[in-house]
Structure 1
């Protein structure tokens, strides 16, 4: 059987490590190349000994012609500002590109420049890229050659809010998102914010009013609503390695009880194996999805405050990054959406 060959660009980050871990068990794909400019010629196992015996050959530098000849799929597990320069060199070839950074998520170049502080990708690449929120844009992904993988907060937030927006359950002008994540979401590069002494036994908000995922969430909620949507979002850093939880609030726009809300959400995600709607009276936690591609959602219709409360939990490195990237790869190649991703969450 022919295995498709994959390359991972940005091979030393946490997103790349999760891609390697998950792709080892994928029946259709083998990892052919790991690309890292900073460690060209080095073996990844020298940095990460847990990968000993899993990969062959040293890391390489980016060469578009070589990649086009040698691989079928390229994952960009890079920081913002990298893939926008490389993907145009691969456009029009047979290679599928899946970008885990934020370079292609915002349709308007001026929004990327404002929120990311960098020069945007060429407009033709932005126009071609399909947003990879797997459960929502599956039909578009089936025809895509370039996939823009969603951010971690947008994945949890959008999956939690889309049914409410679609069914007009809440007032679109009242949405509040209270987000919390582990330190792996900040990547491997050390900073005062992620230093052990700063994060241990501590919870702190960050990027209030200026988080780069805000316009991404608003863009796709607005598409679903058919008009602009403005959210109030505050993110918090928690002293844990992985996991992300969003508690969202919206004023009810219709009479609704919790049981009815659960029925609407269950029907909305009936065909989606990675979205699990919790029974009435129970809510997800990050431990219950750790290491997996699941998004667990709990709901409560509060008749006292007239609000719908939505709690959404994911593993920020899996469903919030690499797992969803593989799920999108599956869809783009006509494979079963959960192929290679049926891991049971790691608990406790």
Structure 2
């Protein structure tokens, strides 16, 4: 097949730069163009010097990138993707939106949580939620993928087998999650300033994080019934990685060994999800700079509670890596193409 021409809008951000790094190693993709309002007219490598000689493309206007590309990755804050997606689809292009605009099917909930009005509801009907392990078949057929949020990716992959098999109660889930500071984006803020974050560790947006409705909506898809979660995110003083610990009351009397087998069978053919053995627990250092998700589990018999621990790299499986995984599915390529990265061993 001919090379796929990919464009990246918002390429100067963390997710955009991570996409460029992955796409440079993809044997079926050429980078057709990149855009950035902030750095228009400058070269990509002048913003990210590590790319000097590897990718020196110049930041253009979004419309120029769209015109040259077969598939467009949009890496912009919420509320900024709809007009661009409409333009892309009207021109017969494929789109993977790495932002939040198309992740929620309930548009009333989206408008309430994101305080943003939906202008093209018909586009949202076309969008497929891009958690690859959940919607692989639908992703193959769509031209618009809504790439999941980073926290939801780690949490939903951890819960999917348990929810789909009716093993747990989904009306009282407790989720304690920690993310590296790149999850907050490239823009500077007091909360992510080195002097504030280094040697510090704090929770934020307790009960009000915008990933809550995304997680609850997809859990309902997985289990066929309404779900509710108590979600407490934290910022770790590390660059990248997410560790999510989930506490779920058991619906059945299943033992840890039974659930272990269910999880191992469920993800047997999922190339990027690894279920740890009994008594083994994931570590974010084992997945950094890779598209892997590692899951560990046990049953606390005293409280009849399933405890799950899931780790991903928020820039890879939580964003750019999963986006490329979805590109591979959309074009019928091997799902692992361009994503054979292994976490550094030290």
- Alignment correspondent of 1:240: 238
Q: 2:142 aligns with which of 141, 144, 148?
A: 144
CA contact (8 A) 1:87 1:97 kept: yes
- Alignment correspondent of 1:8: 8
- CA displacement 1:90-140 (0-9 Å, x = unmatched): 224331100000010011222122211222251111100110000110000
Is 1:88 aligned with 2:103?
no
- Alignment correspondent of 1:162: 160
- Alignment correspondent of 1:123: 121
Gaps of 5+ in 2: none
TM-score (norm 2): 0.98
In terms of mean alpha carbon deviation, does 199-208 or 251-260 score higher? 251-260
Distance 1:317 1:179 in 2: 16
What pairs with 1:238-277 in structure 2 (closer than 5 Å)?
238-277=236-275
- Alignment correspondent of 1:48: 48
Q: How large is the RMSD of aligned CA atoms in angstroms?
A: 1.1
Distance 1:68 1:152 in 2: 26
CA contact (8 A) 1:283 1:298 kept: yes
- Alignment correspondent of 1:185: 183
Distance 1:62 1:9 in 2: 6
- Alignment correspondent of 2:327: 329
- Alignment correspondent of 2:108: 110
Q: 1:74 aligns with which of 67, 72, 79?
A: 72
Is 1:228 aligned with 2:226?
yes
CA contact (8 A) 1:156 1:295 kept: yes
CA contact (8 A) 1:292 1:343 kept: yes
Distance 1:30 1:89 in 2: 21
Q: How far is the alpha carbon of 1:57 from its aligned partner?
A: 3.4
Distance 1:232 1:280 in 2: 27
- Alignment correspondent of 1:219: 217
What pairs with 1:272-311 in structure 2 (closer than 5 Å)?
272-311=270-309
- Alignment correspondent of 2:30: 30
CA contact (8 A) 1:103 1:121 kept: no
Distance 2:175 2:244 in 1: 6
Distance 2:82 2:38 in 1: 18
In terms of mean alpha carbon deviation, does 83-92 or 181-190 score higher? 83-92
In terms of mean alpha carbon deviation, does 20-29 or 90-99 score higher? 90-99
Kindly tell me the number of residue pairs found equivalent between the two proteins.
Answer: 346
- CA displacement 1:163-191 (0-9 Å, x = unmatched): 11111111111211101000000011000
CA contact (8 A) 2:139 2:145 kept: yes
Please give the secondary structure, in 1, of the residue aligned with 2:22. Answer: helix
Runs of 4+ in 1 over 3 A off after TM superposition: 66-69
TM-score (norm 1): 0.97
